Amino acid sequence: MALNIELAGHYGYRRILRSVLPSIGMVLVTSVYSIVDGFFVANFAGKPGFAAVNLTFPVIMMIGSLGLMIGSGGGALVSKIKGEGYRHKANRVFTMLVQFGLALGVVLGAALALAAPAVARWLGADEPMMDECVLYIRLNMFGMPGFVLQCAFQSFYMAAERPQLGTLMSVVSGVTNIVLDALLVWALGMGVAGAALATSAGCLVGGLFPVFYFASRRNKGSLCIQPTRILWPYVGKACTNGLSEYVGSIAMNIVTICYNLQLMRYLGEDGVSAYGVVMYIAFIFAAVFIGYNIGITPIIGYHYGAADLAEQRSLLRKSMAIIGVLGVLMTLSAELFASPLARLFVGYDEALTALTVRAMRLYMLAFLISGWNLFVSALFTGLNNGFVSAVAAFARTLVFELACVWTLPLLLGINGIWLSWGIAELLSLLLCAFLVRRFAPQLLGGRQ
């Protein structure tokens, strides 16, 4: 199977799916191995360690998601520049964004390691969990530069017209993490420390190898790393354009922290553990939408740069149909397989299993509509309108979901927490429809 694709030309349903499947596969593999820590810790280190991992992981994701901002915004920017016909300029912008991402990972990783005890206390860790929370944060910081770059390259692979290389790298880094988890957590009994070291190693493999590849003569993609100085206006443009993806990710993690605070209040450690399982499964399902958006955004950006309005309209119409079908399939799967999925993680505790099954069945209803909201944000990123994209992402999580998670439990009790995401997505869908009509009305006419 060829590793290269082309951004130019017309996209029917078959070509769209063929182009985005490597990106979906890449994010799916990444999401699967990202929950391996939770699986091994839950089954071999007990509930306190599992709760510690779930409590601290959102903060680690906040830093890693800076790479998603750089990659999503930068990938759309680089693709637009390529669509305009400036290949050498595209390589320079690509290189400076990789340099910026690496530096950011080093500096912020070190800062979070130093602040680990204060961060753990802020997250609500109690004394039995405190030491494990601090340990998990600090050991994950060794892999933070790789984590930031790994997130950034998810979009750059498509911009370089080499999406299947991204899938391959996800498999390699994922296997690294899984093998080390089995060795360190299961065989050697290192618990949370082993899980953190395994994750760091996987991130370093997935983030640093592409740097060497794109700088080497073996590189067969349409982008390459070459010596250049950082031009801050382009870095600023990429970050602004990708701000929605970062806002969406950081907001999701802030909301996760609020969920944990509410669950500690209503259900204690069991609530956090149940929510952790639900989020692991939701992350795998959401990876399908995220991967689709990673694959489609550079395509939209290229045709935006080429001023091909008919193709932009076609991509919007076809994407909405594909995402609608995927949303129905994933929601049905979550409802049908909630019990076996819950038992995979917490089957050792019947009460916790029952709580997790109910939580999953209520929470996962949101997948019926969440994919459309995620796509609208990606659409505006592809159109290089980072502001509107950020508004959609910000309102979806930090406004609607945060409001729901604090108010619905007052009305519905614990079920209000599990339904918060679905209600927030419904409100967000109304907003996204308005944003498309207001800021991209040219895309709503014509068929192809």
Question: What tokens does 1 get?
Answer: 């199977």
Residue 324 predicted with pLDDT over 50: yes
Does some domain include residue 427?
A: yes
Does some domain include residue 1?
A: no
Other Cβ atoms closer than 10 A to 358:
16
CB 432 within 8 A of CB 392: yes
pLDDT (tens digit, 9 = 90+) per residue, 79-94? 889 888 888 899 999 9
DSSP string, 354-401: HHHHHHHHHHGGGHHHHHHHHHHHHHHHHTT-HHHHHHHHHIIIIIII
DSSP string, 177-227: HHHHHIIIIIIS--HHHHHHHHHHHHHHHHHHHHHHHHTSTT--SS-----
Other Cβ atoms closer than 10 A to 346:
24
Other Cβ atoms closer than 10 A to 267:
18
Among the listed residues 43, 55, 44, the one whose alpha carbon sits nearest the alpha carbon of residue 133: 55
CB 397 within 8 A of CB 251: yes
Question: What tokens does 441 get?
Answer: 């009305």
pLDDT (tens digit, 9 = 90+) per residue, 377-429? 889 988 988 789 888 888 888 889 889 989 999 999 889 999 999 999 999 99
CA 329 from chain centre, in angstroms, equals 20
Does some domain include residue 8?
A: no
DSSP string, 273-328: HHHHHHHHHHHHHHHHHHHHHHHHHHHHHHHHHTT-HHHHHHHHHHHHHHHHHHHH
How confident is the model over 64-82, as a mean pLDDT? Answer: 87
CA 435 from chain centre, in angstroms, equals 23
- pTM confidence score: 0.72
pLDDT band at 2 (very low <50, low <70, confident <90, very high): very low
- For the chain, percent helix, then strand, then coil, each to nearest 5? 85, 0, 15
Does some domain include residue 6?
A: no
Q: Which amino acid is at 136?
A: Y
With a CB cutoff of 8 Å and minimum separation 6, the contacts of 188 are: 194
Residue 251 predicted with pLDDT over 80: no
Angle at 255 between CA 243 and CA 381, to 5 degrees: 20
Sign of CA dihedral 350, 355, 356, 358: positive
- Which residue matches tokens 């290269």? 4
Sign of CA dihedral 228, 230, 231, 236: positive
Q: At what angle do helices 243-266 and 367-382 cross, to 10 degrees?
A: 150
pLDDT band at 445 (very low <50, low <70, confident <90, very high): low
Sign of CA dihedral 56, 62, 68, 70: negative
Report the mean per-residue pLDDT for the chain. Answer: 87
Q: At what angle do helices 350-363 and 269-305 cross, to 10 degrees?
A: 30
Sign of CA dihedral 303, 306, 308, 309: positive
Does some domain include residue 279?
A: yes
Does some domain include residue 347?
A: yes
Given this model, what pLDDT does residue 184 score? 92
Domain count, the chain: 1
Given this model, what pLDDT does residue 33 score? 64
pLDDT (tens digit, 9 = 90+) per residue, 253-302? 778 788 888 888 888 878 888 888 898 888 888 889 988 998 898 899 88
End-to-end CA distance of the chain: 29
* Backbone dihedral angles phi then psi of residue 224, each to the nearest 5 degrees: -145, 155
CB 64 within 8 A of CB 209: no
Residue 448 predicted with pLDDT over 50: no
Percent of the chain with pLDDT over 70: 96
Domain that holds residue 373: 13-443
